[in-house]
Amino acid sequence: MTAVSITVKQVLDQKGGAAYSVTSGVSVFEALGVMAKHNVGALLVIDDGKLVGIFSERDYSRNVALKGLHSRELKVGEVMTRNVVTAAPTEQLAAVMQTMTNRRFRHLPVLQDGELLGIISIGDVVKAIIQEQESTIHQLSSYIAGDLTTYPPPGDSGTHVAAGSEK
């Protein structure tokens, strides 16, 4: 498997599908408390079982703090990001990373047939790609070093004659 072939589902399976949420009517202050309690940078905003937005640290800093507004007085629905981009579990991680980078966001809800499966962050994406690259490096190093427990590949007898040693 290469970084190109890792799917969003594989990342969710590894990290778990926990996703924290609030309703749009919750105060920004309460939402920040939930984020701090769970050590997350974003919350899904769900009203009546439907994803209606996402509230992130960026939303807070740009739409509340920098405008001198008060988090106890504002509702999440007033400052959240609407029209949330989502991913399907079958999407390739490389494509998702490209989208997150180009559109400049760090959190991506994962939906299948309208059902929320979880959320991935750019950190989750980078971690999965690094792990895959480390695995590839290990396999290549084993191959180069002649680790016969890993190689030869299945179906290969492993008997090769080195160049210049034929008799």
Q: Determine the average pLDDT of the residues in 128-141.
A: 81
Is there a domain that residue 82 lies in?
yes
Q: Which residues, other chains included, contact 115 with Cβ-Cβ below 8 Å and sequence gap of 6+?
A: none
Residue 14 CB neighbours (<10 A): 12
Q: Is residue 163 pLDDT above 50, yes or no? A: no
Q: What percent of the chain shows pLDDT beyond 90?
A: 66
Q: Which domain holds residue 86?
A: 8-127
Q: Is residue 149 pLDDT above 80, yes or no? A: no
CA distances from 157 to 139, 145, 147 (A): 19, 18, 15
Q: Determine the average pLDDT of the residues in 54-67.
A: 95
Q: Determine the average pLDDT of the residues in 79-88.
A: 95
CATH number, domain at 119?
3.10.580.10
